[in-house]
Each structure stands twice: as C-alpha cells, then as structure tokens.
Structure 1
Amino acid sequence: MPTNEQRREAAKRKLDRQLAHRAERTKARRRYAVAGGAAAVVLVIGVVVLIVTLGNRHQAVEATAKPSTSATPAKTSTPATPRAENKLAPLPVRPAPLPASVDCQYPVTQQTPARPVKPPLAGSTSARGSAQVTMQTSAGAIGLTLDRALAPCTVNSFVSLAQQGFYANSPCHRLVTNPGLQVLQCGDPTGSGSGGPGYTIPDEVFPQLAYGRGLVAMANTGQPDSGGSQFFLIYGQTQLPPQYTVFATISPTGLEVLDQIAKAGDDGSLEPSPGGGKPNQPVTITSVDVKAT
C-alpha cells in the first residue's frame, strides 16, 4: 500500500500533466486564432484589390464612352457610309420656353471680318417662328429650317449674314467622318477655318442639348460666347458636350446631298488636330436664300 508521501507525489505528477495538457491546448487555440486572423486579412486584401481593379476598369470604360470635351474630336480617315439605321435626331426642346422676345447682343471683336458686313440689329429679338433657307451649293441644294424658339440670337445673325451675301461663293472647308463626329463645316469665306464676321454670338445652349443627324449647330473656339459665322451640318452620329448652339434642321433632300459628300471622304489634311480634312468632293456655297417668315 502506497504511503501518504507517495500518494502526494502521484497526485502532483497528475496535476502537472493536466496543466501541461491544458497549456498545450491553449497554445494551439492561439495559433489557430492567429492563422485565422491572417487568412481573414489576406481575404480582405484580396477583396479590396478586386474592387479597386474592377473599379478602375469601370472608370476606364466610362472615360472611353464619355463624349470628348474638345471642340474638334479625333477621327479616322475612312469615309463614312450612310446607313439605314442612321436615323434623324429629334429637334432639341428647351426645358423652359423662351419669352416672346429676348435681348441679343453681338460684341464686335478685334478680328477683321472675312468679308465686309455689319453686325445684326441688337436688342429685342423675336423668339417665335422659323425661317426657311435654301443653301445652294456646288454639290446640290441644302434646305434649312431655322428655329427662332430654339436660338433666336443665332437665327437673327445667320439671316443677317445671308442677306448681306456673306456666305455667297464660300467653301465648306472641313469634312469629318469619325463615327463619333460626322459633320460638314462651312461659314468661313476664307476657307482657312479661322475667318469670321468680326463679331460674336451669345451661346444659346442648355444641359439637355444633344446632337445628331439632321441638325445644324454653330462652331466656336471652345470659349463661351465665341460663335461667329461658322456652322456645321450634322449628317450622322455625333457626340459632343452641350456647348454648341443648335439653330436649324436639314431637309431630307439636303441630307442626301450631305451623304454623297461624306461618301467621297476627306483628304485628311487636318489630321491629327482638329481632325478631318477638306472634302474630296469640293463643296462651295454659291448662295443662301432666306424666305420671309
């Protein structure tokens, strides 16, 4: 029979084993907890990296899809072929109608007019009705309907320049056939792209303004209220920020003329900036006739 001393020693050894076993279990749990925490950190980092990567990719796609803010987006030199799905753009509608008349001002610039003309009559200008215009060109007649309710100051200026013969015998100096910009630009009698009437027109734009086949808009220098005499006829899909005053629509027969001009392409002489070039089929405006409205 074991003595009391032996029993105490046996009990002490048993207790030591229990304590050692318990400490080992605690240490193992701590290792697993650390490993689990590390795995969680790795997982979180992986998710963050994935989100950032997809986010950057998404932003890149949006940036590519956004219309250029440049006044002259880049283009390809391939001639545009009109397609059946290239539908007419709806006429823009102002979010709130203009009053019956608006105040129009045409500040004189330091630039010498491309041809001697007087600025249009400033002051109270009608914002009602329309004006019918026939623009005779070397490629055929292009009919326009000018909309005073959309851009009264611009219509007033265009009619004034037409009646003074400013546009007669002037070239359309630039054709662009980029899928995102399909326009024929005219209105500079010098044919250089820098000529104007010696005064500027106020912008008549609004955030909802959009562009497309069948519309006519004013060109500008990229600065506010810098339009003059140059305008562009839109014959196809065109994506631009709402910074160019739309003031007219093109007749169906006029669009047929533009389609033939676009089909011939351009010479690429304005690449890479502003883009496009002179039409391969030369276009000259011989006269612009305005019908009384």
Structure 2
Amino acid sequence: MADIKDPENTLLLETSKGAVVIELLPDVAPGHVARIKELAREKFYDGVVFHRVIDGFMAQTGDPTGTGTGGSDKPDLKAEFSNVPHVRGTCSMARTQNPNSANSQFFICFGEAPWLNRQYTVWGQVVSGMEAIDQLKRGEPVREPDRIVSMRVAADA
C-alpha cells in the first residue's frame, strides 16, 4: 500500500481486480478534484463499471448507466487543462467534443498518451495498485465488465 501523505487528497479505489491508491492534484485541477471527492463521498462511483477499456491506452469509468453517455446530476465542469502529461497511471476526465463538458466520467492511462496533453483535465495519479488496473477486462464496450467496488477519500476511511 502506498504511503499516504495527504489523506484529504488521496482516493482509495477498490476495484473488482484489487485496490488502487490515487493521489489527487488540487493545485492542478481544483474544480475537478473537488467534484471527484464530492462524488466519492456521495458513494456515486460504488458499483460503476469500467465500460471502455482499450489495451495500451486507458480504462474509462464513472458513468452510472455503463454506456459512456451518462454522468452525475451535477453541472458540467469548466476545463482545467495543464502541462501535467498523460503517462502511466494518470487520472484524467472524460468529456465530449466540448472542452467544458467533463462531469463524472474519468479514465486511467495504461501508458503515455501525449496526444491528450493540454486537451483533457488531469486530476490525479495512481501511486499504487496499477497492476489492478492492468487486469481490467478490455473492450469498447466491455462484456461482463469489471467495476468499482468502492471509492473513498482516504481522510474518511
């Protein structure tokens, strides 16, 4: 398990493949970090599937409908693009063509994805448990997908 430096800005993500620890980046994307923590505290993500998992690219989740078209009932977020690169373990928000359309869906990168840099809002980094993400079933959509068992802010755990 990772050494948790800041429990208020650390997520404990329990997946059907194992535990993942995500360090949040409030200095980089304060609005998105606040939203992720708000939804985690409401248990919004519990039971949500990884509906889109592309080998060598990323695993996407955060849609309660499991289709890739849903989100929370909260308003969409204004983009907070940064110079933080999309590398292995980067957590970033999914969105439509509209840069200000991120809501609850996010993805975790399997490897470098430089074409996403400064185009998607990075809000966190996996600091342990990436092997659990590596084991997620692949597909677009995924048949019998893996899921988030629970997602909590470490300060509340």
Fold in common (TM above 0.5): yes
Q: SS of 2:131's equivalent?
A: helix
Give the Cα–Cα distance (whole angstroms) in 1 for the partners of residues 105 and 95 of structure 2: 8
The match for 2:114 is: 239
The match for 1:164 is: 42
Task: State the Cα distance separating 1:288 from its structure 2 match.
Answer: 0.8
Which structure has the greater CA radius of gyration? 1
The match for 1:258 is: 133
Indicate if the aligned counterparts of 2:15 and 2:132 stay in contact, CA closer than 8 A. Answer: no
Give the Cα–Cα distance (whole angstroms) in 1 for the partners of residues 17 and 145 of structure 2: 8
1:287 maps onto 2:150 in alignment: yes
The match for 1:28 is: none
Output aligned runs, 1:26-37, within 5 Å.
Answer: none
Indicate if the aligned counterparts of 1:217 and 1:244 stay in contact, CA closer than 8 A. Answer: yes
Q: Which has the higher contact order (CA 8 A, sep 6+)?
A: 2
Output aligned runs, 1:36-51, within 5 Å.
Answer: none
Q: How many residue pairs get matched?
A: 149
The match for 1:230 is: 105
1:248 maps onto 2:124 in alignment: yes
Give the Cα–Cα distance (whole angstroms) in 1 for the partners of residues 100 and 8 of structure 2: 23
Higher helix share: 1
Task: State the Cα distance separating 1:212 from its structure 2 match.
Answer: 1.2
The match for 1:173 is: 51
Task: State the Cα distance separating 1:209 from its structure 2 match.
Answer: 4.3
Which residue among 9, 25, 28 is the counterpart of 1:131? 9
Runs of 5+ in structure 2 lacking a partner? 1-6
Give me the TM-score of the superposition, normalised by structure 2: 0.85
- Give the alignment's Cα RMSD to 1 decimal: 2.1
Q: SS of 1:201's equivalent?
A: coil
Output aligned runs, 1:207-218, within 5 Å.
Answer: 208-218=83-93
Output aligned runs, 1:1-293, within 5 Å.
Answer: 131-177=9-55, 182-198=57-73, 199-206=75-82, 208-241=83-116, 242-252=118-128, 254-261=129-136, 265-266=138-139, 277-279=140-142, 282-292=145-155
Indicate if the aligned counterparts of 1:169 and 1:287 stay in contact, CA closer than 8 A. Answer: yes
Q: What is the CA deviation profile of residues 82-137 of structure 1, one whole-angstrom value per residue up to 9, with x for unaligned ones?
A: xxxxxxxxxxxxxxxxxxxxxxxxxxxxxxxxxxxxxxxxxxxxxxx961111111
* Aligned AA (2:65): T
Task: State the Cα distance separating 1:238 from its structure 2 match.
Answer: 1.6
Task: State the Cα distance separating 1:292 from its structure 2 match.
Answer: 2.3
Q: What is the CA deviation profile of residues 198-224 of structure 1, one whole-angstrom value per residue up to 9, with x for unaligned ones?
A: 311111113x34211111000010212
Q: Name the CA shift for 1:133/1:234 in 2 (closer, same or farther; >3 Å).
A: same
Indicate if the aligned counterparts of 2:8 and 2:155 stay in contact, CA closer than 8 A. Answer: no
Give me the TM-score of the superposition, normalised by structure 1: 0.47
The match for 2:4 is: none
Higher strand share: 2
Give the Cα–Cα distance (whole angstroms) in 1 for the partners of residues 144 and 127 of structure 2: 20
Task: State the Cα distance separating 1:290 from its structure 2 match.
Answer: 0.7
Indicate if the aligned counterparts of 2:67 and 2:141 stay in contact, CA closer than 8 A. Answer: no
Q: SS of 1:212's equivalent?
A: coil
* Aligned AA (1:202): K
Task: State the Cα distance separating 1:279 from its structure 2 match.
Answer: 3.9
